[in-house]
């Protein structure tokens, strides 16, 4: 289904944003409601379900926090995220130096955290049961942890040298956090440990001969502005402004050396890419200029480029229930990418007489039965 994703001509997402769309999130409970955040500070909530039951339909905006709302963000919204456990709450962070916790039903902020610098990103753990910490990356090299329970943001993680552009909690271990910074480094932290980070990922896997002491322990030779765990939490994918994407073993910290080729990345801020969930093999969907590049994660193969936006794509989000993808762009549009419907095969046609469809190499079966070889 992912290999035949195409721009859906029968599904529109209602156009509300009057400026670029920076961030999208689909709630994990039902996979039905989507949030978007724009560079004008506006947040919109959509219902993705086809309530009309007609083949062509528009995903309606249920409501928005618009420019006239008293609590609207003053500047660009960089990240929106649903509370992972129910749809009654969502979060947003902005260049206006705030992180807001919203009550979905009243559209009022239940809490607001203020920071000294621009907020680039934030993330809540999808699996945490013992803590309610939101990791926040700002203009400061210190990673901030905001506690939803106590309302304090006193906890900080120190170790980066420049601003923190990307943060992501492990979907496997609730206390493990990955952070990426403009200093070229990716750090893994156990937030229970006061002593600092667990490890700093090294693109050279410790081979000092290749790296000058200056470049030692960098994940990228540029700003690290995107990171995302695979759904099982065993690997971490990072992107940097060195036009590289790297896949790391998240328990050993080893660079797996998968070669994705040149991944053009001119973003001066966080790049919001997505990884599939429940597919075999798993895919990465990476904004690439005005297109979205689709890679197989473990082989590095560029499968396809999804074309449809008129301007820079800023974010994409994967809907695992139906293997759908939504993308947001500077062109103010949100596009839906849906698997192309397969032609039905009439019952009286035997499988053998059908022309063999060329399988994408990502799906070709390398297995052979011993009978063929004897």
What is the C-alpha R_g of the chain?
A: 21
Reported pTM: 0.89
- CA dist 117 and 97 (Å) reads 6
Residue 374 has pLDDT above 50, yes or no: no
Instruction: Determine the average pLDDT of the residues in 287-314.
Output: 96
- Read off the pLDDT band of 345 (50, 70, 90): low
Q: Which residue, 90, 51, 247, 26, is CA-closest to 99?
A: 90
Strand 313-319 versus strand 133-138 pairing type: unpaired
Strand 199-200 versus strand 186-190 pairing type: antiparallel
pLDDT at 29: 92
Q: Give the CA count within 13 Å in the CB-facing half-sphere of 141.
A: 12
Q: 178-217, pLDDT tens digit by residue?
A: 999 999 999 999 999 877 789 999 999 988 655 555 567 8
- Read off the pLDDT band of 154 (50, 70, 90): confident
Which range among 91-100, 186-195, 339-348 has the greatest average pLDDT? 91-100
In the chain, where the domains are located: 2-339
Whole-number mean pLDDT of the chain?
90
- The Cα angle at residue 315 between residues 313 and 316, in degrees rounded to 5: 110
CATH of domain 2-339: 2.130.10.10
Residue 356 has pLDDT above 60, yes or no: no
Identify whether the C-beta of residue 183 lies closer than 8 Å to the C-beta of residue 173: no
Instruction: Determine the average pLDDT of the residues in 101-111.
Output: 96
- The Cα angle at residue 137 between residues 268 and 229, in degrees rounded to 5: 85
Neighbours of 369 (CB within 10 A): 7
């Amino acid at each position: 289904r992912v290999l035949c994703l195409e721009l859906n001509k029968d599904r529109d997402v209602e156009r509300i944003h009057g400026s670029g769309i920076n961030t999208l999130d689909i709630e994990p409970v039902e996979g039905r409601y989507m949030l978007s955040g724009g560079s004008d500070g506006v947040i919109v909530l959509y219902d993705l379900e086809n309530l009309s039951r007609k083949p062509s339909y528009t995903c309606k905006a249920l409501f928005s926090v618009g420019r006239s709302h008293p609590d609207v963000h003053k500047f660009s919204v960089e990240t929106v995220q649903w509370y992972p456990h129910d749809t009654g709450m969502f979060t947003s962070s902005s260049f206006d130096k705030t992180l807001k916790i919203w009550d979905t039903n009243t559209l009022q902020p239940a809490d607001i955290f203020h920071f000294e610098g621009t907020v680039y990103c934030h993330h809540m753990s999808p699996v945490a049961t013992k803590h309610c910490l939101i990791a926040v990356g700002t203009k400061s090299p210190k990673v901030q942890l905001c506690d939803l329970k106590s309302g304090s943001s006193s906890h900080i993680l120190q170790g980066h040298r420049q601003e923190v552009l990307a943060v992501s909690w492990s979907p496997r271990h609730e206390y493990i956090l990955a952070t990426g910074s403009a200093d070229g480094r990716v750090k893994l932290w156990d937030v229970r440990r006061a002593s600092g980070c667990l490890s700093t990922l090294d693109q050279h896997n410790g081979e000092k001969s290749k790296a000058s002491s200056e470049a030692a322990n960098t994940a990228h030779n540029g700003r690290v502005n995107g990171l995302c765990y695979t759904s099982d939490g065993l690997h971490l994918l990072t992107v940097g402004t060195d036009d590289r994407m790297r896949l790391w073993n998240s328990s050993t910290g080893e660079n797996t050396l998968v070669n994705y080729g040149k991944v053009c990345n001119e973003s001066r801020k966080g790049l919001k890419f997505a990884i599939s969930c429940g597919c075999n093999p798993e895919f990465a969907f990476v904004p690439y200029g005005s297109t979205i590049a689709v890679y197989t994660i473990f082989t590095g193969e560029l499968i396809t480029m999804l074309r449809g936006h008129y301007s820079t794509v800023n974010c994409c989000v994967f809907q695992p229930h139906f293997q759908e993808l939504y993308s947001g762009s500077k062109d103010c549009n949100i596009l839906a990418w849906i698997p192309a419907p397969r032609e039905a095969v009439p019952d009286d046609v035997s499988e053998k007489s059908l022309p063999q469809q060329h399988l994408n190499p990502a799906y070709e079966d390398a297995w052979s039965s011993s009978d063929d070889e004897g």
